[in-house]
């Protein structure tokens, strides 16, 4: 009988053939990556809180650029009250004008029946047009939203959680009957700006109700951007008691710099869809102090070489092109009068500039 430490060593020893087989197994495992989806929320969540006027042309161009970078899920805007969120006022015009790609889902946020009616009127115009056979519709998806605390729901929707669910159920039903996909959001899934720590049981209950209304997926929002990976794990463990994890998405604002870690925590818990925002744009007008969503660039960069692969359109070679997203992050930030705040976006841009300078130096030296 081997003593305990030796038994441990013996157990860890593998003959060469076994060692080779396990190396091959590991190689195989990394080649068959786990597909994950990114929902690009920059045109909506990213821009809704901007104070200055952003021209419709810029918003249209942003959405078109994102689709051409490979994004296959883009939140294009909101049909909410312009008195509540003025920046989203032109959404009907934007989704009508933007060039649409067939394999991209263009979603819009809808808070109530009036918002859905606004979308229907855009879709009616499209249906009556001569090009409705050849051009994809302005939108094929709505996102309905509520929250895990009454205080936040009151601030964001002027109603309680229970009332919001009663109002949203027929909206979801009508949208589904008209052939639209319906996604749900539960805001303040970790912390509420008005009442603090959130009861995760409430997140579970509200998520379940949204799925029962017909949402194909529920996105859990750390609206405040204060969550830690431990809290995200605890919240997901609670929600998963009642909701299949494949129906969940993670939506992490990055106020405290934990969003990329929270993304990985969610992925490790089986979540396969992550919301992110190009250039790290964004914030919710009713979550004071919260900054933008996790930057799409930061997520794409951190996922490189991992067991996950991001799905995308042919324009991103089946994924989402990090270089193109970085450029878009800088482009839209420039339009807003500032620099990209994505950490990866800044580092990649700086490296590109350094590389270009070195190449120029090399050319000069070669000529001497
Ligand atoms: P209310 O004041 O109770 O609404 O607001 P109302 O029914 O009394 O109507 C008031 C006025 O708004 C009326 O106009 C309506 O016609 C008009 P008036 O007669 O005064 O001229 N109105 C609308 N106009 C256009 N589109 C509509 C619409 N509805 C009413 N859909 C309401 C209730 C739901 C309208 C309001 O609270 C609202 O629009 N809230 C939206 C707030 C919002 O967009 N927040 C940001 C998005 S959520 C978010 O960012 C979180 C998320 O990212 C996830 C996360 O991070 O957690 C998704
Ligand atoms: Mg948000």
Looking at all shown ligands, the one closest to residue 220's CA atom is 1
Quick one: pLDDT at residue 24?
Answer: 41
362 sits in which H/E element = helix 343-367
The residue among 90, 43, 72, 101 whose CA lies nearest residue 332 is 43
Torsion angles phi and psi, residue 235, rounded to 5: -65, -45
Closest ligand to Cα 184: 1
Token pair belonging to 216: 């194909």
Nearest protein CA to atom 47 of ligand 1, as residue = 284
The full length of the chain comes to 368
For 286, phi then psi, to 5°, come to -105, 20
Which residues have any ligand 1 atom within 6 Å of their CB?
Answer: 45, 48, 78-81, 83-85, 109, 111-112, 114-115, 118, 145, 156-158, 185, 187, 221, 223, 251, 253, 284-286
**Residue 133 buriedness (CB in 10 A; 0-12 / 13-18 / 19+):** exposed
Report the nearest atom of ligand 1 relative to the CA of 115. Answer: 31
CA distance 236 to 268: 11
* CA 83 to chain centroid: 25
Residues 6 or more apart from 334 whose CB is under 8 A from it?
none
The residue among 123, 176, 138 whose CA lies nearest residue 60 is 138
Distance 123 CA to ligand 2 centre (A): 26
Residue nearest to atom 50 of ligand 1 (CA): 284
Position of tokens 């794409």?
300
Spatial distance between the Cα atoms of 327 and 319, rounded to a whole number of angstroms: 16
Domains plus CATH for the chain? Answer: 18-342 (3.20.20.70)
Ligand having the closest approach to the CA of 147 = 1
Residue pair 263/281 in contact by the 8 Å Cβ criterion: no
Phi/psi of residue 233, each to 5°? -60, -45
Which residue positions in the chain have pLDDT lower than 50?
A: 1-30
- The confidence score (pLDDT) of residue 1 equals 35
- Residue of the CA atom closest to atom 28 of ligand 1: 81
* pLDDT of the residue at 252: 98
The model's pLDDT over 111-146, given as tens digits with 9 standing for 90+, comes to 999 999 999 999 999 999 987 778 999 999 999 999
- Residue 79 CA to ligand 1 center (angstroms) comes to 8
Q: Tell me the pLDDT tens digit for each residue of 59-95.
A: 999 999 999 999 999 999 999 999 999 999 999 999 9
Sign of dihedral through CA atoms 221, 223, 224, 225?
positive
The number of the ligand 1 atom at minimal distance from the alpha carbon of 286 is 45
Residue 192 annotated among the catalytic residues of the structure: no
Distance (Å) from CA 251 to ligand 2 centroid:
7
pLDDT for the residue 31 = 63
Q: Which of these is catalytic: 71, 192, 215, 284?
A: 284
DSSP string, 106-129: EEEE--SHHHHHHHHHHHHHHHHS
Question: What pTM did the predictor assign?
Answer: 0.91
């Amino acid at each position: 009988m081997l003593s305990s430490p030796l038994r441990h060593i013996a157990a860890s020893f593998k003959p060469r053939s076994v060692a080779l087989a396990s190396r091959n197994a590991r190689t195989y495992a990394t080649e068959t990556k786990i597909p994950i989806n990114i929902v690009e929320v920059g045109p909506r969540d990213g821009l809704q809180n901007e104070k200055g006027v952003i021209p419709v042309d810029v918003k249209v161009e942003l959405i078109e650029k994102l689709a051409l970078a490979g994004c296959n899920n883009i939140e294009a805007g909101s049909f909410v009250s312009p008195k509540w969120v003025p920046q989203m006022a032109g959404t009907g015009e934007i989704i009508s004008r933007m060039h649409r790609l067939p394999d991209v889902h263009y979603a819009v946020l809808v808070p109530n029946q009036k918002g859905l009616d606004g979308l229907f009127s855009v879709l009616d115009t499209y249906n009556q047009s001569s090009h409705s056979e050849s051009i994809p519709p302005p939108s094929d998806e709505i996102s309905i939203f509520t929250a895990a605390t009454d205080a936040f729901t009151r601030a964001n929707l002027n109603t309680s959680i229970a009332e919001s669910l009663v109002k949203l159920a027929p909206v979801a039903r009508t949208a589904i009957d008209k052939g639209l996909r319906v996604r749900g959001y539960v805001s303040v899934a970790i912390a509420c700006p008005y009442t603090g720590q959130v009861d995760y049981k409430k997140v579970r209950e509200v998520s379940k109700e949204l799925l029962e209304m017909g949402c194909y997926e529920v996105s859990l929002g750390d609206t405040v951007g204060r969550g830690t990976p431990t809290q995200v794990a605890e919240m997901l463990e609670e929600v998963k008691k009642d909701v299949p994890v494949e129906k969940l998405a993670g939506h992490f604002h990055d106020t405290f710099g934990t969003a990329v870690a929270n993304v990985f925590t969610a992925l490790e818990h089986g979540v396969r869809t992550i919301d992110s925002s190009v250039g790290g744009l964004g914030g919710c007008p009713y979550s004071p102090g919260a900054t933008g969503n996790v930057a799409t660039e930061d997520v794409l960069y951190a996922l490189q070489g991992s067991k996950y692969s991001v799905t995308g359109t042919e324009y991103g070679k089946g994924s989402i092109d990090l270089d193109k997203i970085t450029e878009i992050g800088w482009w839209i930030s420039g339009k807003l009068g500032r620099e990209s705040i994505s950490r990866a976006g800044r580092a990649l841009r700086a490296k590109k500039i350094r590389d270009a300078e070195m190449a120029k130096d090399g050319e000069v030296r070669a000529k001497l």
